[in-house]
C-alpha cells in the first residue's frame, strides 16, 4: 500500500524535526510493508522568502491531493513586521487549517515512564499522566472579523468571537467518541460566567452528552482548569475546549510531560488530516540540531493511526520512543543527570532503528 504524505517543514526548527519524523515513518513503512511517498511543500516564512506568499497555491494543492499532511512549524521574528495576511501564522497556518477544515485538534499529553522526573512538577503528580486535549481549531477569536481604527488619543481594535451550534457540536461529538475509547471522562472547559459563546458551548456539550450516557461529563471554567492542570492533572481524561483556550492549555499540559518538544497533534476534519508538533519554530534554538524531534515523530504516529488506520505501526513508533527514553537518551530540553545527551538527528536515528528492528 502506498500513502502520499505532504511534508511542509516551514521555519526555524521545523525542517530539523520533520526530517526525523519522515525518517521514522519510512522506517515504519519498511517494517510493516507500507510505502510512504514524501513530497515537500513550502510554507511560512520560507515560502514568503521564496515566492512572496506564505501559503503558495502549489502547497495548498499538494496538501489537498495528499493522503495526509505533516507540518513542522512556521514563523519567527524575521517575518513579524509583515502585514497580517503575509505573516506565517495568520497568512499560512490558519488558512491551511481552515482550507482543510480540520476542526478537531487532538493534543495528547502523556508522561512517558522515563520522564516522570523531567517535569517541573513533583514526579508523583505527573507519573502515568495521560490527558487528551481536544481543541476546536477552525473557529473562535482566531477567525472572527477584526479591525483596527484610529480614535482620538490612540487606536481601537475589535476582535470577534464567533461559534455556531454546529461548529461546537461536531468537535464535541469527536471528543465524546474519543472519551468513549479512553477512560470515559470528559471535561468541557469554557468561560461561561462571562462569555456568551461559552454559554452556547456549555449548552451544546450538555445536549451532546445525552448521546453518550457512558461518558462522565463535567464543566470547568478555564481559569480554574489552568490551576487544576498543575495542582492535580490526573483528574482529567479528555479536555474539550475552544480554540484560544485550547492553545494555551495545551502548552501548559505539554510542560507536564517534561517539554513542549514532547507534544504531538492531529488535526482532523472530514478529509485530509494535518499533523504537527504543538510547539513553534523555536528561533532561540533553530539550526543547532538540539531541538527535540519527539513531538514531530509522535505526530507521525498519530498520522499512522488516524489517517491511515495503521494502529500496529502507530503503536510501534510510540513503543520505540518509550524504549529509547528508557535507555536514557535525551535531547537537551529533557536532559537529566546520568542520562545520555543526543542531537535531534541522533534521537531520530535511534527511534527509527528501534521501529525497524522491533518497535
Ligand X SMILES: NC(=O)c1ccc[n+]([C@@H]2O[C@H](COP(=O)([O-])OP(=O)(O)OC[C@H]3O[C@@H](n4cnc5c(N)ncnc54)[C@H](O)[C@@H]3O)[C@@H](O)[C@H]2O)c1
Ligand Y SMILES: CC(C)[C@H](C(=O)O)[C@@H](O)C(=O)O
355 Cβ partners below 8 Å, 6+ apart? Answer: 24, 27, 28, 31, 316, 317, 320
Task: Select 67 or 251, whichever has its Cβ closest to Mg ion.
Answer: 251
251 is catalytic: yes
142 is catalytic: yes
Look up residue 329 and give its three cell numbers: 537518551
Task: Select 189 or 215, whichever has its Cβ closest to ligand Y.
Answer: 189
163 is catalytic: no
Task: Determine the Cα–Cα distance for residues 99 and 246; give it in Å rounded to an integer.
Answer: 20
Contact code string over 258-297 relative to ligand Y, x by CB under 6 A: --------------------x-x-----------------
Contact with ligand X (CB under 6 A): which of 9, 75, 264, 273? 75
Query: What's the CA angle centered on 323, arms 320 and 326, to 5 degrees?
Result: 150
326 is catalytic: no
Contact code string over 291-310 relative to ligand X, x by CB under 6 A: xx--x---------------
| Closest CB 344 distance from ligand X, rounded Å | 8
> Is residue 76 near ligand X by the rule CB under 6 A?
yes
Torsion of CA 350, 351, 354, 355, to 10 degrees: -150
Look up residue 16 and give its three cell numbers: 530539523
| Closest CB 74 distance from ligand X, rounded Å | 4
> Is residue 45 near ligand X by the rule CB under 6 A?
no
272 Cβ partners below 8 Å, 6+ apart? Answer: 63, 64, 66, 67, 68, 69, 100, 102, 307
Q: What DSSP string describes 75-112?
A: --GGGTTS-GGGSHIIIIIHHHHHHHT--EEEEEEE--
Q: Which residues bind Mg ion (CB under 5 A)?
A: 247
Applying CB under 6 A, which part among 54-62, 111-119, 192-200, 258-266 lies near ligand X?
A: 258-266
CB 44 within 8 A of CB 75: yes
> Is residue 247 near ligand Y by the rule CB under 6 A?
yes
285, interface contact from ligand X, Mg ion, ligand Y, none, CB < 5-8 Å by kind: ligand X
Residue numbers in the known binding site for NAD(+) are 76-89, 280-292
Contact with ligand Y (CB under 6 A): which of 89, 167, 333, 356? 89
223 is catalytic: yes
Mapping DSSP to helix (H, G, I), strand (E, B) and coil, where does residue 303 land? Answer: helix
> Is residue 280 near ligand X by the rule CB under 6 A?
yes
Beta-strand pair 2-10/35-40: parallel
Mapping DSSP to helix (H, G, I), strand (E, B) and coil, where does residue 140 land? Answer: helix
| Closest CB 246 distance from Mg ion, rounded Å | 9
Torsion of CA 47, 41, 11, 111, to 10 degrees: 150
Residue (of 206, 166, 170) closest to 186 by Cα position? 206
Residues in touch with ligand X (CB under 6 A): 13, 17, 73-76, 89, 93, 259-261, 276, 279-285, 291-292, 295, 333
Q: Supply the residues annotated as catalytic.
A: 142, 191, 223, 247, 251
Chain residues binding ligand Y by CB under 6 A are 75, 89, 93, 247, 278, 280
Amino acid at each position: 500500500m502506498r500513502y502520499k504524505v505532504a511534508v511542509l517543514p516551514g521555519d526555524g526548527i521545523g525542517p530539523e524535526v520533520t526530517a526525523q519524523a519522515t525518517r521514522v515513518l519510512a522506517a515504519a513503512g519498511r517494517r510493516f510493508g507500507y510505502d510512504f511517498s514524501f513530497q515537500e511543500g513550502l510554507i511560512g516564512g520560507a515560502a514568503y522568502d521564496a515566492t512572496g506568499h506564505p501559503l503558495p497555491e502549489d502547497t495548498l494543492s499538494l496538501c489537498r491531493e495528499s493522503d495526509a499532511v505533516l507540518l513542522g512549524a512556521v514563523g519567527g521574528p524575521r517575518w513579524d513586521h509583515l502585514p497580517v495576511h503575509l505573516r506565517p501564522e495568520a497568512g499560512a497556518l490558519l488558512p491551511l487549517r481552515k482550507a482543510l477544515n480540520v476542526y478537531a485538534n487532538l493534543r495528547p499529553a502523556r508522561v512517558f515512564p522515563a520522564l516522570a522526573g523531567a517535569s517541573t512538577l513533583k514526579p508523583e503528580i505527573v507519573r502515568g499522566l495521560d490527558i487528551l486535549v481536544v481543541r476546536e481549531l477552525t473557529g473562535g477569536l482566531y477567525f472572527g472579523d477584526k479591525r483596527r481604527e484610529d480614535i482620538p488619543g490612540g487606536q481601537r481594535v475589535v476582535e470577534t468571537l464567533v461559534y455556531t451550534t454546529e461548529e461546537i457540536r461536531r468537535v464535541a461529538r469527536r471528543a465524546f467518541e474519543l472519551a468513549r475509547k479512553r477512560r470515559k471522562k470528559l471535561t468541557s472547559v469554557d468561560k461561561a460566567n462571562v462569555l456568551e459563546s461559552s454559554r452556547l458551548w456549555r449548552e451544546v456539550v450538555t445536549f451532546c452528552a445525552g448521546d453518550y450516557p457512558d461518558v462522565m461529563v463535567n464543566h470547568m471554567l478555564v481559569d480554574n482548569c489552568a490551576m487544576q492542570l498543575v495542582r492535580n492533572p490526573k483528574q482529567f481524561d479528555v479536555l474539550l475546549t475552544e480554540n484560544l483556550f485550547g492553545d494555551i492549555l495545551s502548552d501548559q499540559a505539554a510542560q507536564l510531560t517534561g517539554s513542549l518538544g514532547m507534544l504531538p497533534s492531529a488535526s482532523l476534519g472530514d478529509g485530509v488530516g494535518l499533523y504537527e508538533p504543538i510547539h513553534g519554530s523555536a528561533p532561540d534554538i533553530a539550526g543547532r540540531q538540539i531541538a527535540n524531534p519527539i513531538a514531530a515523530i509522535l505526530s507521525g504516529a498519530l498520522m499512522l493511526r488516524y489517517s491511515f488506520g495503521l494502529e500496529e505501526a502507530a503503536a510501534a513508533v510510540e513503543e520505540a520512543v518509550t524504549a529509547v527514553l528508557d535507555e536514557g537518551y535525551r535531547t537537551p530540553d529533557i536532559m537529566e543527570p546520568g542520562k545520555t545527551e543526543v542531537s535531534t538527528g541522533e534521537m531520530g536515528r535511534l527511534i527509527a532503528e528501534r521501529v525497524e528492528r522491533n518497535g
